Amino acid sequence: MAEFQTVAHVGDIPEGGGRSFCVKGKMIAIFFVKGEYSAINDLCPHMGASLAAGYVEDNGVICPWHAWRFCIKSGTWLDNPNSKTRTESYPVRLIGNEIQVEVPDLAPKP
């Protein structure tokens, strides 16, 4: 079941940047840009680099390994928006000074 979980606090993520956190066994990249938080899967779908370590420009993050760009709000691959290649995005909320993200449970293994 998906429910919001506190992963960081205000001040932990620098303005204009991202940090990665392990949530329910998944690495999640949380970005803080123009006063808003957003969250996507931290693993680049190309070869698995940490997107939280990428360069943030407007609403996109540039992967540090091969420069593919992803939307930090939707996970869309900005270099080819019509492609099925994308990364997941997750709801984020601020409760007091707690940054919370809602990540679904991993599917049980058959």
Nearer to ligand FES, 27 or 49 (CB): 49
CA-based max dimension of the chain: 42
Considering beta carbons, is residue 55 or 65 the nearer one to ligand FES?
A: 65
The distance of closest approach from Cβ of residue 83 to ligand FES in the complex, given in angstroms and rounded to an integer, is 13
Q: Which is nearer to ligand FES, 19 or 69 (CB)?
A: 69
Instruction: Read off the amino acid at residue 85.
Output: T
Least distance in angstroms from the C-beta of 64 to ligand FES: 7
How far is it, in rounded angstroms, from Cα 7 to Cα 53? 17
Give the other-Cβ count within 10 Å of 50's Cβ.
17
**Tokens matching residue 37:** 């938080």
Which residues of the chain form contacts with ligand FES (CB under 6 A)?
A: 44, 46-49, 63, 65-66, 68
